[in-house]
Amino acid sequence: MGVRGLESVVRGRVLAGGDAGFGAASRPWNLAVEQEPVAVVEVADAGDVAAVVRWAGERGLSVAAQATGHGATGSASGAVLVRTGALDGVEVDPVRRTARVGAGVSWGRVQEAAAVHGLTGLPGSSPGVGVVGYTLGGGLGWFGRRHGWAADAVRAWEVVDAGGGRARVSAQSDPDLFWALCGGGGDAVVVTGVELELFGAPELYAGAVVWPVERAARVAAVYEEVLAGAPEELSVWWSLHRFPGAEPLVSVQAAFLGSAAVGEKLLAPLVSVGGSVRDTLGVLPLTGLGSVSGDPVDPTPGLARTELLTGAVGEWSAALAAEPLDPLFGVQVRGLGGALAGPSATPFGPLTEPFYAYAFGAPVGPGGAEAVRSRLERLFAGVAVSGRKPLTALAGGEPLGRVFSPGVLERLGRIKRERDPRGVVRAAHPVLG
């Protein structure tokens, strides 16, 4: 029957190589990642997902699911790529403080629906990132110091298993699979929806202060000072920006779950640095959280590296600002601690390192990718790293041993073999290689 046979078993659109629109439909958000699926199915509903999984399994093919492709690694090549954008339902229960979210929903939509009730989810820096992919990787965001991993807020998953059967998975109904999904990457089933706990957020004081790069040493020192005294409700991130054609800048972004009066007092040392070129600190609606770090909205090519840092970063941050960063565009250091360092039911466990550092660049022209990778390697040569990192920070080709302990990897592998012995489901980071 061939790939074209898919059209007879789904309601959504099926595209194969050579079809008009196939290139755009198969392309992930990160344009630096190459993926060549055998077909793309823009599913209409969860029933379509089940039909695709059954169809692929009967033919010895694999299925990879993506909403946006922010976390794509190229693993979808050779698989049937399921695009989940039409699974776009968001249902908020303000009494139970939960949200039922379809697999095609981005964090911006959840924040819009929850904010009406004075509630928030646990989003990352970009409102355009898909909720399901982010949460399957653990989910490390703005309110993690207060509420922990996004995966710890999951109440249930809606899934299609490797045989095409649909199920609702909770800690009570299937504890093994539930555990594997809450930060383990989802390499055993295709997720079609998730139920999340929401949290009270009556006020949000947030924004960024930006300075010329000449102020970098002072800003780095004050950043560490502010973070050292920060309550769990306050997250503070330091960034270095060196975009082509623009003057280099340093900035501190902050988000405080509390009143403006308290937020102003906590962040006063940053304002007192003086000489800023922009200061957007103020009361912010929950729907405006994505503006704080200003992540790119449109698809873009990028190569990045993330490391968890084990010590102070003031001197390292100041040194970065004093040397050429080319061909990188930026470095971001996020202060961790708080609830992230406490008990967690995720496969990753407690995040005990004090800092998360992320650096990125765009591979431009011949040799561009190698130049970016080389600069990323040198960038982290002068700072102590833990050697492990969250799953969403893992680049394509990096081993899962950088994320999970040997015991956790063994358990994830056992679950994969038991639930998907034919390898029908393919995650961004396959557990069994």
How far, in Å, CA of 413 to CA of 197, rounded?
28
* Domain co-membership, 51 together with 107: no
Residue 299 lies in a domain: yes
The confidence score (pLDDT) of residue 95 equals 98
Beta strand 98-102 pairing with 190-197: antiparallel
pLDDT in tens, 286-334: 999 999 998 888 998 999 999 999 999 989 988 898 888 999 999 999 9
* Domain co-membership, 108 together with 256: no
Cβ(72)–Cβ(113) under 8 Å? no
Alpha carbon distances (Å) from 82 to 64, 199, 286, 399:
6, 31, 31, 25
Residue 97 lies in a domain: yes
Least Cα distance to 136 among 119, 121, 161, 157 occurs for 157
* Domain co-membership, 154 together with 292: no
Cβ(432)–Cβ(69) under 8 Å? no
* Domain co-membership, 297 together with 216: yes
Residue 221 lies in a domain: yes
Residue 417 φ then ψ, to 5°: -65, -35
Residue 72 lies in a domain: yes
DSSP for 192-205 reads EEEEEE-EE-S--E
pLDDT at residue 7 is higher than 50: yes
Specify which residues 158 forms β-bridges with: 168, 193
**Tokens at 296, concatenated:** 């790119």
pLDDT category of residue 188 using cuts at 50, 70 and 90: very high
Domain holding 60, by residue range, is 3-83
* Domain co-membership, 232 together with 318: yes
What CATH number is attached to the domain comprising 323? 3.40.462.20
DSSP 232: T
Domain total of the chain: 3
**Tokens at 88, concatenated:** 């776009």
**Tokens at 35, concatenated:** 């993926």
What 3-state class would DSSP assign to 171? coil
* Domain co-membership, 267 together with 138: no
The confidence score (pLDDT) of residue 2 equals 57
Helix 314-321 and helix 216-228: axis angle, to 10°? 150
Residue 430 lies in a domain: no
* Domain co-membership, 264 together with 160: no
pLDDT category of residue 396 using cuts at 50, 70 and 90: confident
Residue 276 lies in a domain: yes
Residue 432 lies in a domain: no
- Residue 25 CB neighbour total at 10 angstroms: 18
pLDDT at residue 197 is higher than 90: yes
* Domain co-membership, 257 together with 212: yes
How far, in Å, CA of 420 to CA of 327, rounded?
42
Cβ(188)–Cβ(416) under 8 Å? yes
What CATH number is attached to the domain comprising 410? 3.30.465.10
Residue 425 lies in a domain: no
What CATH number is attached to the domain comprising 28? 3.30.43.10
> What's the mean pLDDT when you consider all of the chain?
95
Averaged pLDDT, 358-365 = 92
* Domain co-membership, 7 together with 94: no
How far, in Å, CA of 407 to CA of 404, rounded?
8
pLDDT at residue 413 is higher than 90: yes
What 3-state class would DSSP assign to 207? strand
How far, in Å, CA of 32 to CA of 408, rounded?
30
Alpha carbon distances (Å) from 394 to 33, 57, 225, 306:
14, 28, 29, 7
* Domain co-membership, 140 together with 42: no
The residue type of 336 is L
pLDDT at residue 257 is higher than 90: yes
Which helix (DSSP H) or strand (DSSP E) does residue 50 occupy? helix 46-58
* Domain co-membership, 299 together with 317: yes
pLDDT at residue 1 is higher than 50: no
Greater pLDDT, 322 or 263: 263
* Domain co-membership, 222 together with 342: yes
Cis peptide leading into residue 248 (ω within 30°): no
Percent share of the chain, pLDDT over 70: 100
pLDDT in tens, 27-47: 999 999 999 999 999 999 999
**Tokens at 257, concatenated:** 């779950």
